[in-house]
Amino acid sequence: MRKIYFLLFTLIASASFGQNIAVNGDFESWTAGVVDSWTSESGTTITQETITVAEGTSAVNFEVTTGTQGNTDFRQAVPVVAGVAYDVSVQIYQVDALSQARLYADGYQGYSDETLVGEWQTLSYVYNATTTGDADFGLRFYDAAGFTDSSFIIVDNFQIVAQSTPGIAVTAPTDGSNIYTTDVDVELSVQNFDIPADGNIKYSVDGGSDIIKSDTTPIALTGLAAGSHTVNLELVDTSNNSLSTPVTTSVTFTIIEVQTLPFIDSFDYTASETLGEQTPWTNYFSGDDILVETGSLSYSTLNGIGNSISFDGSGADPVVEYTPTSTGTIYASFMLKVTSLDASATDGYFAVLRTDGGDYASRLWISPTGATTYQIGISNGGTLTEITSGTDFNIDDEIFVVFNYDIDNDQVSAWLNPTLGAAEPTADITEASSSTANTFSQFLIRQDSATETPGIVMDELRIGTLWAEVTPTTLSTSNFNKNTFAVYPNPVTNGLVNISSTSNQAISVAVFDVLGKQVINQTVTNNTLNVASLNSGIYIVKLSQNGNVSTKKLVIK
């Protein structure tokens, strides 16, 4: 790998160390009522603010007029230099508590605290440039509790300043990224610090032992377990001590466990836990989590096993990854109960078959028809186009839904309450897709907004390539291959962890550290595993019983 600190001698001039490289970041320049050098979208109304300012004589007053955050971006493209770290900050004044501002620095970062009304607060982030060229910076606005028609936020003093002191940055993987292999190279750049003449790099993985590194070649991590991992790094002197002003960075990424098809999830997790925390699932975006609920749904001869999940409004969108499929048909089925509809309910999609390119190629919708009734719809895009006209369902009805994407013929279809155990019937609704040559690899649960996502309970998710794989006539513990185990307490504080399942047979338990080394391998017959010999940290537990296999994250304090 190239040593970035050599490159800085030729690139340093464009980094503008110590100067704000955001154009009109103080918002002092306006033309005909429009703030210069920034772009905005129709979800906000912008006016010049001259009374409540953080510095100078003017700021920007944003009126947020929509709960659809994707239409509120405020941006500017700024040239950056690979390997340079930039201090990004902006001052926020919450006029009310009905919306939030979110910092954007070539990716979404932190939110403002909407409860701090009537005072200035600062959002900040250290942005490590991995490529030379333009990068986008700015804000996005989100509705908060109580938002109806509008909310006001004042913004001032947007700063993007290149650091001139020693620095270290991770150029790959990006923070918060999902990785689909157990081997990861952590690539580094060092600024204004000569290794090994000035010192070394000290790093640790998931809170483990410190490791000293005397070059900037990638850190090769192999055999990582599924789940979240954090690498902490620090520049140290030649005696491996912290610098007078410590220089640190970190990167967190998630190893995604790709599920084989057919995939079955009975949501047999611990009630009140969040779905995004479970091993097969990863949250996209942030906000309210989807929760595991006690109890199951039923339809015809199909009775749920374990628990279920519930969600409504806006929030995190959990995703499960499965074997990439580029021919034939991808089906998904589940039992569904709508428990409530917003007083101003509108059409909204809540389940998605997603391609490996991120396309929401098959979307399942709920279309309200009254205060307590709705219909199911399907589309291959962002507008509801096909609904089950004349087939209304009521709040608290427990129904069975199948939807798919026919990859060979490029069309989406849905079935409502089909006969179980029979051959695939004609779909209730179908739509041709304009997309071609798709590879499907994700199932996503969508939480859009209070008006678009009603109260929903979902149970017994199945994903497969055959109709028979997603429409069983009955369920038993042999029908599913995951998530039949509970592990508690977690975190562990007394050296003992309880492991339970829906069967009373022995459970094979293997425990791995974050580098993939097996540290425990035994059979549990009394539901108790002794982990007192393990150091504090994060581990992965693999549980096997009656052919059912599950992996869970275990934290030992």
- At residue 72, the pLDDT reads 96
Q: Which helix (H) or strand (E) holds 372?
A: none
pTM: 0.56
**Number of helices (H) and strands (E), helices first, in the chain?**
2, 45
Burial class from Cβ neighbours inside 10 Å (0-12, 13-18, 19+) for residue 533 reads: exposed
Where do you find CATH 2.60.120.260 in the chain? 4-162
pLDDT digits over 110-154, tens only? 999 999 999 999 999 999 887 788 999 999 999 998 999 999 999
Element at 13 (helix H, strand E): helix 4-15
End-to-end CA distance of the chain: 37
> What CATH number matches the domain at 263-470, 3.40.50.300, 2.40.50.140, 2.60.120.200, 3.90.1860.10?
2.60.120.200
Please, where in the chain does CATH 2.60.120.200 lie?
Answer: 263-470
Locate CATH 2.60.40.10 in the chain: 167-255
Determine the Cα–Cα distance for residues 369 and 234; give it in Å rounded to an integer: 58
Question: Look-up: residue for tokens 């709705």?
Answer: 374
Give the domain 167-255 fold.
Immunoglobulin-like (2.60.40)
The single residue listed with the structure tokens 């100067």 is 19
- Report the run of H or E that residue 298 belongs to, with start and end: strand 298-299
Sequence-distant (6+) residues with CB within 8 A of 244 are: none
Judging by DSSP bridges, how do beta strands 373-379 and 360-368 pair with one another? antiparallel
156 has which bridge partners? 91
* pLDDT for residue 254: 84
Closest to 142 measured CA to CA, from 203, 48, 74, 236: 74
Rounded distance, CA 199 to CA 195, Å?
6
Fold that domain 4-162 belongs to in CATH = Jelly Rolls (2.60.120)
| Positions of CATH 2.60.40.3080 in the chain | 485-556
Residue-by-residue DSSP string for 506-548? -EEEEEE-TTS-EEEEEEESSSEEE-TTSPSEEEEEEEEETTE
The residue type of 83 is G
Average pLDDT, the chain: 89
Spatial contact of 287 and 140, defined as CB atoms under 8 Å apart:
no
Residues of the chain with pLDDT under 50: 1-16, 476-483
Mind listing the pLDDT tens digit for each residue in 379-435?
999 999 999 888 899 999 999 999 999 999 999 999 999 999 899 999 999 999 988
CATH of domain 485-556: 2.60.40.3080
**What is the sign, positive or negative, of the torsion defined by CA atoms of 57, 63, 69, 72?**
negative
Residues 204, 143: Cα–Cα separation, whole Å: 38
